Structure 1
Amino acid sequence: CEDCFGLEMTCAACCVVGECVQLNVTLFLLTMFQKWNGSLFEQSSLKEIGLRVQLGHSDLKCVCPERGHVDFIVIHVNRIHRINIDFCDCEQHVSHRQQLLRCDWYPVTIHFPQTACTRCVLKYFLVMMWSSKVSGHEFYMTLEHLTDNVGLNIPNVSPLCTLLFNSQLKHIRMMKQAGRGNVGGGITSTEPGVLAVQCPACLHPGINLPGDWEQIDVSLKFLYAIFLALDANFRLKNHLWSSKAGDPGLHTGLTYFVPNEPYRAHILNNASIASWTDTKWHPQVGPQKKFFQHSARQRQ
């Protein structure tokens, strides 16, 4: 085992028993193995040597197990793993999604999940994205190279899973930090703007603005002046090749931007083609102009 302490060589049966013991204590399962084939060491996994992971029970024993997908995949920080998984189908069982979440595995789909991602790799990706600006595709390609640097034995997982995991995790964290799980209506009762936080750079009376700032000397009033700027929405051109159905937002209208429907109604009622005649020269306004022209035609 490449992840365990020490480099002792054991047989397949002892390796499975050892991992089962560790699994009961530390939930340490997603390890990397090398198997001797008679002439050299080759990559292997616990799935190939016969280990099955039982969910729903802390002792890994279930009187009525339900076999999971034959090619179940778990994404971890060290590689992309194929594992044999069994769900609990006892009288007191919960859904497959809940069983995965209770062992810190985040499923891709709600019903009949075939791919999951560990909480560790989700946190690792968020820190990497914040510190080094790595993209989801680059992070997934790194995991593929860790799995098989040659690229011959890569599990069939879409790179979009990493982006979906990231978007859903950030959405859940925002709801958690806003305390939406402690209210009666939960997430569905979240009103527009509830998830927004105050800008620490702006002036807020009683926080970073003294109480007598209005009576300050004229020569020092520039310290508390407000500077407002208006910039073009360069990302509005994304509406030309995307849609709400193809790329829906999770918390649209709940943070700093208004909800889509009132904004679109405002555009349809106030868009004017003539008001854009003076902005033909700007390279970024062209796509935006087409969007507003399309909105104006819909209004007509």
Structure 2
Amino acid sequence: NQSQNDYLRQWLPRQESYLHHLLDREAPPEDRRCFICDQDGVYKCQDCLGEPLYCTGCCRSHHCSNPFHWISQWNGQFFERSCLAHVGLILHLGHDGKQCPALTDRCNLFEEDEPEDQLEPEDLPFVSGPEFQPKENTMVIVDKSGVHRLEVRCCDCPNAMSPDIQLFRHGFFPASFNRPKTVFTFGVLNDFLLDNLECGTSAMNYYSKLRRMTSSMFPHLVPDRYRELMRVARQWRQLKIMKWHGFGHRSDTPSTGELALFCPACPQPGINVLLSGDESLDDWKFTRSFVMDGNFKAEHLQIQLSHSMKVLS
């Protein structure tokens, strides 16, 4: 078997070739055509396989189901960072992604429920890239690919659900509930919980990473939703635990200890242990053992709760 050093020795003669091809990926093809309609291709998607070129219309229509991809625009000299909001992408909730036939011009649907970050004009960069400045009818969408600002339009039919429920059913967890302006995708919430579990990543460090993924040059201009992430992650974890313990099909609320994990290997007569007629539950085979010092991460401390703190369970 070859060691990792053997593979490094094989790679060193190829290093210059790899670097050359890496630089080649920065240049457009000679014809620079949209791979869908063969028109002039000015946008390159960094997240689509092969980084294909699109015209404006094809880039918008092709990304209706992938609204969190990052794109770059050809400016005549190089590809500069852009975003799907610049090609006019709009997220329509309901009607299979199509515009609601009863949609009205209610531009205040998502206003005034959450404070927006105020940016001075002189603080904004004179380069293209993600949207920093709040715009009418747009929403901050936090995804594991970064922080996006897109226009979102809800279904406005007479029997339509409330905006927060429409968002939730489309995989967005709203940060507020009357007129939400910020949502977190289910994907970013799951990714944060897994990072927190496996890597010990704090909410502050995780959100700092998302801001830098959005804009490596101006991360401080990306909307700050650190506090919202901490709260919504708690709500998301609570929902998942309740779902796993079967409370989605029950009308009662969890009582003390009902959301604790139960060891599936412990003997449960009638479930994972078959009882014969002459066996007693007092038999040693049915004895459960409790090890209190086995989890070195858990601290049995009674935290001091203030009156303003809300406990979920």
**Interval of TM-score (by shorter of Structure 1 and Structure 2):** 0.5 to 0.7
Aligned with 1:17 (options 45, 56, 61):
61
C-alpha distance 84-234 of structure 1, shift in aligned 2 (>3 A)? same
CA-atom RMSD in angstroms: 3.4
1:47 matched residue in structure 2: 85
2:126 matched residue in structure 1: none
Normalised by the length of structure 1, the TM-score is: 0.65
1:141 matched residue in structure 2: 208
Between the aligned partners of 1:182 and 1:106, the Cα distance in structure 2 is 21
Between the aligned partners of 2:291 and 2:172, the Cα distance in structure 1 is 47
Letter in structure 2 aligned against 1:177: W
Alpha-carbon deviations, 1:49-91, whole Å to 9, x = none?
2121111221412122444543411111111111011111112
How far residue 193 of structure 1 moved from its aligned partner, in angstroms, is 2.3
Alpha-carbon deviations, 1:122-153, whole Å to 9, x = none?
11122222211111111111111100112257
SS at match of 1:85: strand
Between the aligned partners of 2:258 and 2:300, the Cα distance in structure 1 is 26
How far residue 192 of structure 1 moved from its aligned partner, in angstroms, is 2.3
| Contact 1:54 1:88 (8 Å CA) reproduced | yes
C-alpha distance 47-228 of structure 1, shift in aligned 2 (>3 A)? closer
2:236 matched residue in structure 1: 169
2:4 equivalent to 1:4:
no
1:190 matched residue in structure 2: 254
Between the two proteins, what is the percent identity of the paired residues? 25
Q: How does 1:26-175 map to 2 (within 5 A)?
A: 27-63=65-101, 64-65=103-104, 66-67=106-107, 69=110, 70=136, 71-151=138-218, 154-175=221-242
Normalised by the length of structure 2, the TM-score is: 0.63
SS at match of 2:154: strand
How far residue 7 of structure 1 moved from its aligned partner, in angstroms, is 2.6
| Contact 1:72 1:85 (8 Å CA) reproduced | yes
How far residue 155 of structure 1 moved from its aligned partner, in angstroms, is 3.0
| Contact 2:71 2:83 (8 Å CA) reproduced | yes
| Contact 1:104 1:119 (8 Å CA) reproduced | yes
Between the aligned partners of 2:190 and 2:174, the Cα distance in structure 1 is 15
| Contact 1:53 1:85 (8 Å CA) reproduced | yes
Between the aligned partners of 1:155 and 1:39, the Cα distance in structure 2 is 26
| Contact 1:16 1:46 (8 Å CA) reproduced | yes
| Contact 1:136 1:163 (8 Å CA) reproduced | yes
Between the aligned partners of 2:88 and 2:255, the Cα distance in structure 1 is 50
| Contact 1:147 1:154 (8 Å CA) reproduced | no
SS at match of 1:83: strand
Alpha-carbon deviations, 1:15-60, whole Å to 9, x = none?
11322xxx3xxx3211101122344322211112212111122141
Alpha-carbon deviations, 1:97-135, whole Å to 9, x = none?
111112111111111111111111111122222211111
Q: Which runs of 5+ in 2 are unaligned?
A: 1-44, 111-135, 274-278, 294-298
2:12 matched residue in structure 1: none
2:248 matched residue in structure 1: 181
Q: How does 1:134-283 map to 2 (within 5 A)?
A: 134-151=201-218, 154-183=221-250, 185-186=251-252, 189-198=253-262, 236=302, 239=304, 243-245=306-308, 247-251=309-313
C-alpha distance 120-137 of structure 1, shift in aligned 2 (>3 A)? same
How far residue 198 of structure 1 moved from its aligned partner, in angstroms, is 3.5
Q: Which runs of 5+ in 1 are unaligned?
A: 217-222, 252-300
C-alpha distance 5-191 of structure 1, shift in aligned 2 (>3 A)? same
Between the aligned partners of 1:16 and 1:228, the Cα distance in structure 2 is 56
